[in-house]
């Protein structure tokens, strides 16, 4: 969803509420700092008038003393402004990242399964980082520009009201009109660039993950061509932004110079008409020349805001995304009992049903096997039991309670899940198994590994349980990953264990060992075992057959 820039800014500014007092300090110091810088130049002009022999009411010593004091104050005020502004920025970036990760937790796994991972990485890293420009270099400068402009309009207006009006028109043109129309003309360029950047990240991430396959199937040149095409798209979007930036700065400089000339000509006219003295001509012109800094900064901000607001829009889109499965809180905890699916129908996409009117009962403390060909919906059914997705029609109950009314955190705690593609973090084997139970001791980890028939293999490694598995577990074979996944489930020790093709990457010897462990160690647990291998589900107390979106118990329909 593309929002208007003012809406994005409003939502981002709303996050500042807890730090509003620090923002007030930043704005105050910024206003005083800019005024100090401006009046150094103005008093320099007064000194020149004094040297030329005109009466200014101050001695050169006092003028120089004031200029030195203003210079020292300018440095101090600038430091405070920058320190407090960046404190707010980095504090808010931390808050934003925390909110984003919480949102990712809410959206997973159903909603995130549809998202490109590289694009998500781009949002979490570079998009949020770009917002530092907004919080540290946008909000405060806008307020500083407004306040300093009002002060300078009043100061120049004291010399002559017409000169005050010229100053007001100049500040308004550079600080508002140019940024406003510049942002409107270039608003799509920033969004296009950030989207192209996200797609480039996704493509690169896919290429790195699939490097072996790219080499194996000699697809390097094709992949490189795709990378070049996406790079060209990215460069084209960036070129549009830079061209827009150049035009904006050129117009800003032209308008700035024009108003300085107008101020000089207006003050000279008033001087000849007797409206002001020579001192007024010099001070008004110098004040105008020295006071454009804050509003020019606003004009230049419009260029940075193209990317910043585009990044903010993408972050807000993620934060305002609605989860497909709402997490349940403050309801009942799960009570261990039978699992019952009543008239379950499910479709990932509208009207494209994977399951239709499925009825199944899984008794408490039994091992239930679900047999079927790949793609028949076995894995989908397990994910519905775990409430990774909600049923499209029908309901699932545990001990007679609808799982939509069971606290999600408690449900996860009491369910173990092993997939055929176990994800391993780039940590030690010990830490990867410990995910199943954060406070597990080494002895508990070893006991779980023994149940998964991988303890001896781990002990044979030079660093044993401290061996790192590598990025994406690249140092482990498919079978070893799967057994580490089993160890996690055994360590978690949930009351229900769902196994999705748990032996697909194992040889017959390890398969028998795992099956034996399941039979001996899970007598008091409910185990649902999904597989296309009949040998794997040989230990099941009951077997269901799944085909054509239906499920049958043996050869009889449920």
The answer to whether residues 334 and 279 touch, using CB atoms and an 8 Å cutoff, is: no
In angstroms, the CA 336 to CA 284 distance is 82
Neighbours of 473 (CB within 10 A): 20
Domain with CATH 3.40.50.300 in the chain: 339-557
In angstroms, the CA 37 to CA 44 distance is 11
DSSP 306-374: HHHHHHHHHHHHHHTPPPSSPPP-SSBPP----EEEEEEEEEEETTEEEEEEEEEEE-TT-EEEEE--T
pLDDT tens, residue order, the chain (558 aa): 667 767 877 888 787 788 888 889 999 999 999 999 999 999 999 998 888 888 888 889 999 999 999 999 999 999 999 899 888 888 888 888 888 888 888 887 777 766 667 677 778 877 888 787 778 777 888 889 999 999 999 999 999 999 999 999 999 998 888 877 776 766 667 677 777 877 887 788 788 778 878 887 888 888 888 888 888 888 888 887 777 778 888 888 899 999 999 999 999 999 998 889 888 999 999 999 988 888 887 776 665 666 777 788 888 888 888 888 888 888 888 888 889 988 988 888 777 888 888 888 889 888 888 888 877 888 888 888 888 888 889 999 998 899 989 898 888 888 888 887 788 888 899 999 998 888 889 999 999 898 888 899 999 988 999 999 887 677 888 778 888 888 888 888 888 888 888 777 677 777 777 777 777 777 788 888 888 878 778 888 888 888 877 787 764 433
> How big is the CA angle at 76 (ends 75 and 81), to the nearest 5 degrees?
100
What totals of helices (H) and strands (E) does the chain contain, helices first?
A: 19, 11
pTM across the whole model? 0.66
Per CATH, the number for 339-557 is 3.40.50.300
Architecture of domain 5-190+235-319: Up-down Bundle (1.20)
The answer to whether residues 203 and 118 touch, using CB atoms and an 8 Å cutoff, is: yes
Sign of the alpha-carbon torsion through 500, 506, 508, 511: negative
Domain with CATH 1.20.1560.10 in the chain: 5-190+235-319
Query: Residue with structure tokens 């805001």?
Result: 305
């Amino acid at each position: 969803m593309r929002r208007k820039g003012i809406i994005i800014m409003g939502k981002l500014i709303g996050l500042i509420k807890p730090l509003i007092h620090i923002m007030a300090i930043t704005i105050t110091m910024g206003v005083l700092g800019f005024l100090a810088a401006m009046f150094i130049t103005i008093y320099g002009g007064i000194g020149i008038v004094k040297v030329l022999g005109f009466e200014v009411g101050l001695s050169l010593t006092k003028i120089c003393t004031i200029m030195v004091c203003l210079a020292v104050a300018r440095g101090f005020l600038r430091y405070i402004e920058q320190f407090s502004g960046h404190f707010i920025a980095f504090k808010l970036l931390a808050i934003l990242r925390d909110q984003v990760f919480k949102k990712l937790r809410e959206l997973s796994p159903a909603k995130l399964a549809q998202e490109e991972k590289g694009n998500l990485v781009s949002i979490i890293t570079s998009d949020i980082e770009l917002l530092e420009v907004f919080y540290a270099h946008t909000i405060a400068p806008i307020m500083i520009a407004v306040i300093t402009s009002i002060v300078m309009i009043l100061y120049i207006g004291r010399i002559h009201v017409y000169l005050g009006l010229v100053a007001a028109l100049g500040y308004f043109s550079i600080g508002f009109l140019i940024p406003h129309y510049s942002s409107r003309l270039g608003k799509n360029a920033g969004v296009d660039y950030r989207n192209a950047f996200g797609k480039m990240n996704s493509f690169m991430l896919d290429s790195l993950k699939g490097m072996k396959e790219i080499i194996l199937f000699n697809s390097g040149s094709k992949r490189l061509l795709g990378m070049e095409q996406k790079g060209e798209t990215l460069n084209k979007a960036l070129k549009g932004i830079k061209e827009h930036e150049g035009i904006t700065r050129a117009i800003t400089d032209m308008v700035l110079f024009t108003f300085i000339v107008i101020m000089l000509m207006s003050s000279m006219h008033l001087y000849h008409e007797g409206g002001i003295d020579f001192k007024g001509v010099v001070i008004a012109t110098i004040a105008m020349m020295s006071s454009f800094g804050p509003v020019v900064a606003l004009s230049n901000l419009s260029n940075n805001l193209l990317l910043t607001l585009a990044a903010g829009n993408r972050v807000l889109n993620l934060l305002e995304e609605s989860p497909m499965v709402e997490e349940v809180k403050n309801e009942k905890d799960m009570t261990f009992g039978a699992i019952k699916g009543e008239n379950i129908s499910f479709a990932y996409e509208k009207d494209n049903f994977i399951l239709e009117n499925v009825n199944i009962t899984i008794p408490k403390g039994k091992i239930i096997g679900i047999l079927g060909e790949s793609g028949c919906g076995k894995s989908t059914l397990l994910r519905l039991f775990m409430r990774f997705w909600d049923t499209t029609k029908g309901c699932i109950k545990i001990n007679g309670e609808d799982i939509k009314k069971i606290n999600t955190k408690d449900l996860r705690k009491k369910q173990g899940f092993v997939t055929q593609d176990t994800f391993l973090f780039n940590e030690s084997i010990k830490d990867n198994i410990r995910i199943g139970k954060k406070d597990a001791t080494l002895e508990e980890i070893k006991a779980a590994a023994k149940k998964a028939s991988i303890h001896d293999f781990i002990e044979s490694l030079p660093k044993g349980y401290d061996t790192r598995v590598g990025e994406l577990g690249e140092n482990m074979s498919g079978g070893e990953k799967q057994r580490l996944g089993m160890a996690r489930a055994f360590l978690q020790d949930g009351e229900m264990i769902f196994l999705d093709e748990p032996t697909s990457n194992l040889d017959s010897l390890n398969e028998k060992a795992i099956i034996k462990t399941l039979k001996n160690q899970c007598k008091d647990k409910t185990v649902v075992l999904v597989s296309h291998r009949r040998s794997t589900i040989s230990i099941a107390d009951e077997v269901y057959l799944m085909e054509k979106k239906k499920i049958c118990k043996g050869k009889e329909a449920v």
